Amino acid sequence: DGIIVTVPHKFACRELCATVSERAAFLGGVNTMRRNADGTWHGDMFDGLGYVEAMRAKGCEPKGQRVLLVGAGGAGSAIAHALVVAGVSELAIHDADVARRDSLVQRLAGLGLGQVRAGSSDPSGFNIAINATPIGMKEGDPHPIDSSKFTPAQFVGCVITAPAVPPMIQAARDAGCHTMTGADMFARVRDLMVTFLLEAAA
Query: Which positions are catalytic?
Result: 10
Q: How far apart are CA 167 and CA 2, in angstroms?
A: 35
DSSP state of 141: P
Tell me the C-alpha distance between 27 and 11, whole Å.
9
Backbone angles phi, psi at 18, to 5 degrees: -75, -30
Distance CA 62, CA 66 (A): 8
Q: What residues does 128 pair with on adjacent strands?
A: 67, 155
> Minimal CA–CA distance to 180: which of 74, 64, 58, 72?
58
What Å distances lie between residue 92 and 85, 102, 105, 192, CA to CA? Answer: 15, 11, 8, 27
Instruction: Quote the CA–CA distance of 192 and 202 in Å, as a whole number.
Output: 15
Q: Cis peptide leading into 144, omega within 30 of 0?
A: no
Kindly list the strands in the beta sheet with 2-4, ordered across the sheet, starting from the edge strand earlier in the chain: 2-4, 32-35, 41-44, 19-20
